[in-house]
Chain A
Amino acid sequence: MDRLKDKVAVVTGGAVGIGLATARLFAEEGATVVVADLDKPEQEVDAPGLEYAELDVTDEDAWSRVVAEVVARHGRLDVLVNNAGVIDYAAIDAVTPEDWARVIGVDQTGVFLGMRAALGPMLAQGSGSIINLSSAWGVVGSEGVAAYQAAKGGVRGLTRNGAVTYACRGVRVNTVIPGWVTTPLTDAQPAEKNAEVIALTPLGYGAEPRDIAWGCVYLASDESRYVTGSELVIDGGLLAQ
Chain B
Amino acid sequence: MDNLTGRVALVTGAAQGIGYAVATRLAEAGARVVATDVRDQSDLGEHIATRSHDVTSAARWAEVVGEAVAEHGRLDILVNNAGVSGYDQLHELPLAEWERIVAINQTGVLLGMQTALGPMRKQRSGAIVNISSICGATSVRGVAAYHSSKHAVLTMTKNAAVTYAREGIRANAVLPGWIRTPLTLGQTDDLNEAFLDATPMGAGGEPQDVAEAVCFLVSDRARFITGVDLPVDGGYLAR
- Give A contacts to B, CB under 8 Å: 159-160, 163-164, 167-168, 179, 202-204, 207, 211-212, 214-215, 217-218, 223-230, 232-237, 239-241
Interchain residue pairs A-B with the least CB separation, the first 7: A229-B238, A240-B227, A202-B165, A167-B200, A226-B205, A214-B221, A223-B212
Number of A-B residue pairs at CB separation under 8 A: 121
CA distance A211 to B226 in the complex (A): 12
Q: Is the CB of B227 within 8 A of A239?
A: yes
Kindly report which residue of chain B lies nearest to residue A167, judged by CB atoms.
B200
**Complex Cα spacing A237 to B172, Å:** 10
Closest Cβ of chain A: how far from B132's Cβ, in Å?
Answer: 13
Q: Do residues A230 and B162 form an inter-chain contact, with CB atoms below 8 A?
A: no
A96 to B155, CA, bound (A): 40
Interface contact B238-A164, CB-CB below 8 Å: yes
Q: In the complex, how many angstroms separate the beta carbon of B171 from the nearest chain A beta carbon?
A: 9
A–B complex contacts, Cβ < 8 Å, 16 sampled? A160-B239, A164-B238, A167-B235, A168-B202, A202-B227, A203-B226, A211-B221, A211-B224, A214-B221, A218-B212, A223-B216, A225-B209, A229-B239, A230-B232, A235-B228, A240-B161
Q: Which residue of A lies closest to B239 (CB)?
A: A164
Instruction: Out of B201, B209, B238, name the residue touching A230 (CB < 8 Å).
Output: B238
A204 adjacent to B166 (CB under 8 Å): yes
- Measured in the bound complex, the distance between the Cα atoms of B43 and A150 in whole Å is 52
B51 surroundings in chain A (CB, below 8 A)? none
Q: Which B residue sits closest to A178, measured CB to CB?
A: B224
- Whether A233 pairs with B235 at a CB distance below 8 angstroms is no
In whole angstroms, how far apart are the Cα atoms of A6 and B195 in the complex?
A: 34
Q: Which A-chain residue is minimally distant from B222 (CB atoms)?
A: A214
| In the complex, B213 has a CB within 8 A of chain A | yes
* B200: contacting residue among A215, A225, A229, A236, CB under 8 A: A229
Chain A nearest CB from B125 CB (Å) reads 12
19 more CB-based (< 8 A) A-B contacts, given A163-B235, A226-B232: A167-B200, A168-B200, A179-B224, A202-B161, A214-B216, A214-B222, A215-B222, A217-B221, A218-B213, A218-B216, A224-B232, A227-B213, A227-B232, A229-B235, A229-B237, A232-B230, A233-B225, A234-B228, A235-B228
Please determine whether B235 and A202 come into contact, CB atoms closer than 8 angstroms. Answer: no
Within 8 A of A (CB), among B119-155: none
Would you give the shortest CB distance from B76 to chain A, in whole angstroms?
A: 17
